[in-house]
Amino acid sequence: MVQRQTFARITHDPQVMGGKACIRGLRVTVGAIVGLIASGRTTADVLKAYPYLQEADVQEALAYAASEQPTP
């Protein structure tokens, strides 16, 4: 049996960003963070753009996105 990892900083609330995975209930989606990193931005760039986030938020968003990928 595979145990799912828990993500304390990732929230899902239908009232915030339509229930998409967000960081700590803020209006910053995991997808937005992943998109920035995928486009070449660094964690420091992301934190500068979103000063209310913490490095752990970015790392957990990336871990969450990786865990949601289907396995072949």
Buried b (16+ CB within 10 A) or exposed e, 12-48: eeeeebeeebbbeeeebbbebbbebbeeeeebeebee
Q: Rounded distance, CA 46 to CA 59, Å?
A: 11
Q: Rounded distance, CA 72 to CA 60, Å?
A: 23
Domain ranges of the chain: 37-72
Looking at residue 68, its pLDDT comes to 78
36-51: per-residue pLDDT in tens?
999 999 999 999 999 9
* Span 14-25, average pLDDT: 96
Give the predicted TM-score (pTM) of the model.
0.86
Looking at residue 4, its pLDDT comes to 66
Looking at residue 71, its pLDDT comes to 53
The secondary structure of residue 23, as a DSSP letter, is E
State the chain's mean pLDDT as an integer. 92
34 three-class SS: helix
